[in-house]
Structure 1
Amino acid sequence: MTEILKRENNKVYFDITLPKEEVKKAEVVAYNKLKKTVQIPGFRKGHAPKMIIENVYGKGIFLEDAVNELLPKYYEEAIKELKLEVVDQPDVDFDENISSDEDVVCHFSVFVKPEIEIEKYKGLEVEDAKHEVTDEMLDEDLKRQQKMNARSVNIDDRAAAEHDKVNIDFEGFIDGKAFPGGKGENQDLELGSGTFIPGFEEQIIGKNIGDEFDVVTKFPEDYHAEEFRGKEATFKTKLNSITVEELPEIDDEFIKDISEFDTVDEYKADLRKKLEEEAEKRTKLDREGNVLKKIAEKVEVDLPERMVEDEVDRTIQSYNQSMQGQGITLEQYLQMLGTDINTFREGQKEQAKASIISRLIVEKIVELENIEVTDEEVEAEIDKVLGEYFKDDAEKREDMKKMMLETNKAAVEDDLKARRALDILVNENKFVEKKEEKKAAKKETKKTAKKER
């Protein structure tokens, strides 16, 4: 039976004993593998006796391989027996002069998931994060729809003005020399959008189609490409065309064209319902985050570095996937920000620590509240998820369900438990307005009262 010898912070120390009989058997296996590759003078390759190989290469040659072969199995069994949630690779040490004539004692130390204590998690006053749906939000959506359905109209009877869309050719020069990335042909640009470096777009305003002119401006001091920072550049530019957006009128006919509804009111009513559902979800998520942040203020925990690094790895992987979806690499994205991967990693560590502590808090709430889920609830959750992806393929849905129950059941259970813990945190705490808002409201009341006098 394996026992924990010592626990320091989040590091656990324990011994594993490898029975000498098992070690001897593993030595034979190691010998049979190694002898095929060893050439000993006087013996055919693969036929040198074990004792002869040990005399040539040292007595411990097979013992080391034997121990390495046995350790993973015994280590996994010990972790299960001790019910440890390890977060890093273990360190292992041995006594001097170990031998297969005796049991081999292995001294292990490994970092485990930290235990936390929570003073209070109910009856707290927490900053609210309620999201409201306003008429302005509905109007903004309609304006976006209007812009998406705008018609481009060519302009040839006036000069370029702010908010026009222009098409230009340009080539940039620094100290009279063209520079990489400074040339573009048939480039579309909305004047006033801030797409180009400061001072560029303003110098196109007032120019006519066919005009060729110089745009002289400076690269910003914080420009992502260090070699261009603060340098003056001259862009030889030609204005090819000017277009403006002709916006459709927002009326019932427009609504019929862009949606399944017949009137503006019907469209807005449906939109409000959808936005309110989304606002409700965002409110719940933000309230959960605010409660966790409030509880975390009182939590003292020393996180193993490996846990933090793993969390940062997950963050970077998420960024990678997001950037790939936009057609660029993470390295290119970081270059645009004027940073590198090491600086970026370091900058993610505080958020990584906060995320880990939040998870530890949720897990502790699950424990304190004795939250359990049934097999039926797990199956129902899997059915719900798979139903969204395999609506019309019952056979595929059942195959996937079987696979998830075999491989992902524990993860689904943990997710359901976490959701219930978060529900408790939201329902059992009081959400209040930001203090700044309260003060502002009081000041406004005082001013009004004075006027009434």
Structure 2
Amino acid sequence: MQVTETKAEGLKREIEIVVPASDLEARLQTRLFEAKDKVQLKGFRPGKVPVGHLRKMYGKSLMAEIVNQILNETPGSIIAERKERAAMRPEIAMSEDEAEAEKVLSGGTDFKFTLSYETLPDFEVKDTSGIKIERPIVEVSDEEVDEQVERIAENARTYEEKDGAAEKGDKVTIDFVGKIDGEPFEGGAAEDSDLVIGSGRFIPGFEEQLIGKKKGDETVVEVTFPEDYGAAHLAGKAASFETKVKAVQGPTETAIDDETAKKLGLESLDKLKEIVRDQIQSQYGLATRQKVKRQLLDALDKDYDFALPEKLVEAEFDNIWNQVQRELTESGKTFEDEDTTEEKARADYRRLAERRVRLGLVLSEIGEKAGVEVGEEEMQRALFEQMRRYPGQEQEILKMFQENPDAIQSIRAPLYEEKVVDHLLAQVDVTDKTVTKDELMAEDEAEDGVAAGA
């Protein structure tokens, strides 16, 4: 096999491979002799089929198998011999001339093909001990716990039938049919729908128009969908809902005490408050983690500047851009609505794609040098969580992951990323700072994760 490098520009490589016809013939002869003792043909005793006859019947199909084996095995072995790492799967190009292909399969000419790929860049992992991180911490107050407990108790409140008109805080059971310009619209009708007046579940202005209505009353509720309503075809539209009140129920008194906690399956009010505090702290902990991770990634992004594989960046940009396009379509918005232009948005998202790829490569290199690994048990737990998201389709999801290496990588990548981040946080200078809830929950200008493009 002859291997010749025909291009080495930056990270781009092009390799020409020539497999001599003599090598192909040697492999074919081996295959034919292996098949000789296995093939059973009418008129021949087992193991006595002449090799020439086998070649006449199966030569081209066996040669096609040999060619496919070469195409499958050669790229990886050549790249490994060159001590390079391909950024993506190499592209293979060969002659599309049918006559040329026929000569190869007949053993009459050399088999030639070309590998094109980009290598992963080489760079030195830098010292991270000088990175300083400020970890925002929110202390959960008793007042916040009490407010959450009150909301839980409110949600667990029971209602009982009442005479008279509906008031704010009452629960009404209604049938309704929504119409725009006199025509019913999809998703605008329901029967036996329960609604607590004042809960804000329905379109603004809807619930208030039910105040004063009694069981059996029929009314037309006139509302206008908000301009930013999720369904673009309804946003800003005036609608009429033909509504019938089928029941009116008033709320029962709900005390914040041990009995309320026991109705929720807990032993006491103190236990309920303990669980609520832990839940709030966990929510804040997730936000804290994201803030800390963002600072770490920003620091790494400033420390590294190296050439990136163009195709890797392009693939990440395509992922981001497709998501942006879907979100705009679903919301019915345009780039102008977001105070930008498509050209500027493309430039911004390409920079984001470059950041993701760069940080993904940096984290991968740091993790490799530190011996970070994702264990089989961790992968199994993550896979199980993925399967749980699709009840009734667990086996199909499992098969998809088993047969698709890219799908498995989509599970492994974020796990690996978080473990590398943990490794780095143990090395950098982290200082806690108490902040308010609003300061902690304020959104950053860009996302934190890089796993999607790592």
What is the TM-score normalised by the length of structure 2? Answer: 0.61
Q: Is the counterpart of residue 217 in structure 1 residue 238 in structure 2?
A: no
In structure 2, give the amino acid aligned to 1:136: E
2:429 maps to: 429
Contact 2:86 2:117 in 1 (8 A): no
Find the residue that maps to 1:142 and give its secondary structure.
helix
Q: Distance in 2 between matches of 1:269 and 1:435?
A: 22
Q: Distance in 2 between matches of 1:378 and 1:173?
A: 56
Residues 80 and 430 of structure 1: is their aligned pair in 2 closer, same or farther, counting only changes over 3 Å? Answer: same
- Give the C-alpha shift of residue 176 in structure 1: 3.4
Matched, 1:15 2:16: yes
Provide the secondary structure at the position in 1 that maps to 2:195: strand
In the alignment, structure 1 residue 294 sits paired with structure 2 residue 299: yes
Distance 1:118 1:260, change over 3 A: same
Residues 245-264 of structure 1 correspond to what in structure 2 (within 5 A)? 245-262=251-268, 264=269
Partner of 1:184: 190
Deviation at 1:291, TM superposition (A): 0.5
- The residue type equivalent to 1:92 in the other structure is A
8 A contact 2:220–2:242 mirrored in 1: yes
Task: Label 1:255 to 1:190 Cα distance change in 2 as closer, same or farther (>3 A).
Answer: closer
Cα offset, 1:421, TM superposition: 5.5
Three-state SS of the structure 2 residue aligned to 1:70 is helix
Instruction: Say whether 1:73 aligns with 2:79.
Output: no
The separation in 2 between residues aligned to 1:187 and 1:292, in whole angstroms, is 48
Q: Which residue pairs with 1:233 in the alignment?
A: 239
Letter in 1 for 2:423: D
Counterpart-to-counterpart distance in 1, 2:215 and 2:227: 32
Instruction: Encode CA deviations 1:274-304: one digit per residue, 9 max, x unaligned.
Output: 7556755653454233201332244445354
Q: 1:124 aligns with which of 131, 141, 158?
A: 131
* Matching residue within 115, 126, 130 for 1:108: 115
Cα drift, residue 315 of structure 1: 12
The amino acid of 1:424's aligned partner reads L
Q: CA deviation at 1:117?
A: 5.7
Distance 1:371 1:180, change over 3 A: closer
Deviation at 1:339, TM superposition (A): 7.3
Q: Name the amino acid aligned to 1:182.
A: G
Q: Is the 8 A contact 2:92 2:113 kept in 1?
A: no
Structure 1 residues 101, 435: closer, same or farther in 2, change over 3 A?
farther
Given that 2:139 and 2:434 are in contact with CA atoms closer than 8 Å, whether structure 1 keeps it comes out as no
| Aligned position for 2:160 | 153
% identity of equivalent residues: 26
1:428 offset after TM fit, Å?
A: 1.3
SS state at 1:167 partner: strand
Q: Residues 167 and 363 (structure 1 numbering): CA distance in 2 closer, same or farther, change over 3 Å?
A: same
Query: Aligned-pair RMSD on alpha carbons?
Result: 5.4
More deviation, 246-255/265-274: 265-274
What does 1:45-444 align with in structure 2 at a 5 Å threshold?
A: 67-82=67-82, 83-93=84-94, 103-115=110-122, 121-157=128-164, 159-262=165-268, 264-269=269-274, 272=277, 276=281, 283-284=288-289, 286-300=291-305, 301-306=307-312, 309=315, 337-338=331-332, 354-367=355-368, 370-372=369-371, 419=419, 422-431=422-431
What is the aligned length? 374
> What's 1:43 paired with?
none
Residue of structure 2 equivalent to 1:24: 25
Counterparts of 1:86 and 1:313, CA distance in 2: 17
Q: Report the alpha carbon displacement of residue 115 of structure 1 after superposing the two structures with TM.
A: 4.6
Q: If the length of structure 1 is used for normalisation, what is the TM-score?
A: 0.62
| 1:371 partner letter | A
Structure 1 unmatched ranges of 5 or more: 33-46, 52-59, 318-330, 389-403, 440-453
C-alpha deviation, 1:218, in angstroms: 2.7
Contact 2:316–2:357 (CA under 8 A) maintained in structure 1: no
What is the deviation of 1:108?
1.4
Q: Using a 3 Å threshold, how does the CA distance of structure 1 residues 160 and 414 change in structure 2: closer, same or farther?
A: closer
1:75 is paired with a residue whose SS is helix
Please say if residues 146 and 247 of structure 1, whose CA atoms lie closer than 8 Å, have aligned partners that are also in contact.
no
Does the CA contact (< 8 Å) of 2:169 and 2:251 recur in 1?
no
AA aligned to 2:241 is F
Contact preservation (8 Å) 1:13, 1:107:
yes
> Does the CA-based 8 Å contact 1:88-1:111 persist in structure 2?
no
Matched-pair contact (CA < 8 Å) for 1:162–1:191: yes
Aligned partner of residue 213 in structure 1, secondary structure: strand
Could you give the per-residue CA deviations for residues 9-54 of structure 1, whole angstroms, max 9, x where no partner exists?
A: 4433233332432323567889x9xxxxxxxxxxxxxx99999xxx
State the Cα distance separating 1:73 from its structure 2 match.
1.9
Q: Contact between 2:135 and 2:431, CA under 8 Å: does it hold in 1?
A: yes
CA change 1:133–1:7 in 2 (3 A) is farther
